[in-house]
């Protein structure tokens, strides 16, 4: 599983022309999945995301997490995170999970987040065309990979 984590002061999402919700402070998280991502991977990623200390404390140090502040998570499936651009001009996407498997894994990840993250969770619509409007804070953008390749 891979994630692009962006600290935001707000974010909104429209899927296939239908507004899905507006979030205030929190994290916009683009999520890519592999076919081998299991519950252990999901728990690892969720714990890292929800408890990552990237919000400022009263002294201006990044020392607080979304969970500490009861900030929201906006989870958005994004298969292009497993795009391979090393050869040619068209990215290959074979490293990501097939569509139906990815949909199931992402749905399980969202349900786990809603049960265990301890913060409000918003989500996009799987395989829809989405327009996302984040208001980046910082900007703070981090990459997270369950295989720890970065």
In this prediction, residue 91 carries a pLDDT of: 96
In a domain, 123, yes or no: yes
pLDDT over 90, % of the chain: 99
150 within some domain: no
Q: Whole-model pTM? A: 0.97
Cis omega (within 30 of 0) for bond into 139: yes
The reported pLDDT for the residue numbered 22 is 97
Task: Tell which residue, 36, 115, 104, 119, has the closest CA to residue 73.
Answer: 119
Q: Can you give the pLDDT at residue 53?
A: 98
CATH number (domain holding residue 104): 3.50.80.10
Q: Is residue 138 part of a domain?
A: yes
Contacts of 44 (CB under 8 A, 6+ apart): 146
Domain presence at residue 106: yes
pLDDT given at position 30: 98
CA dihedral 19, 100, 146, 130 (to 10 degrees): -20
Interval 27-41 mean pLDDT? 98
Q: Does 47 map to a domain?
A: yes
Per the domain annotation, does 16 fall within a domain? yes
Q: Which domain holds residue 94?
A: 2-145
Question: What's the rounded mean pLDDT across residues 5-18?
Answer: 98
Check if the beta carbon of residue 32 is closer than 8 Å to that of residue 82.
Answer: yes
Is 36 part of a structural domain of the chain? yes
Q: How many domains does the chain have?
A: 1
């Amino acid at each position: 599983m891979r994630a692009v984590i962006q600290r935001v002061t707000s974010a909104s999402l429209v899927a296939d022309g239908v507004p899905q919700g507006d979030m205030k402070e929190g994290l916009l998280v683009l999520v890519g999945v592999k076919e081998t991502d299991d519950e252990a991977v999901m728990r690892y990623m969720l714990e890292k995301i929800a408890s990552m200390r990237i919000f400022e404390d009263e002294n201006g140090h990044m020392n607080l997490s979304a969970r500490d502040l009861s900030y929201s998570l906006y989870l958005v499936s994004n298969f292009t995170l497993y795009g391979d651009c090393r050869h040619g001009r068209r990215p290959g996407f074979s490293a990501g999970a097939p569509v139906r498997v990815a949909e199931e894994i992402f749905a399980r990840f969202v349900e786990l987040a809603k049960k265990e993250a301890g913060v409000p969770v918003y989500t996009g619509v799987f395989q829809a065309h989405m327009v996302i409007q984040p208001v980046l804070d910082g900007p703070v953008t981090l990459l997270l990979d369950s295989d720890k390749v970065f």
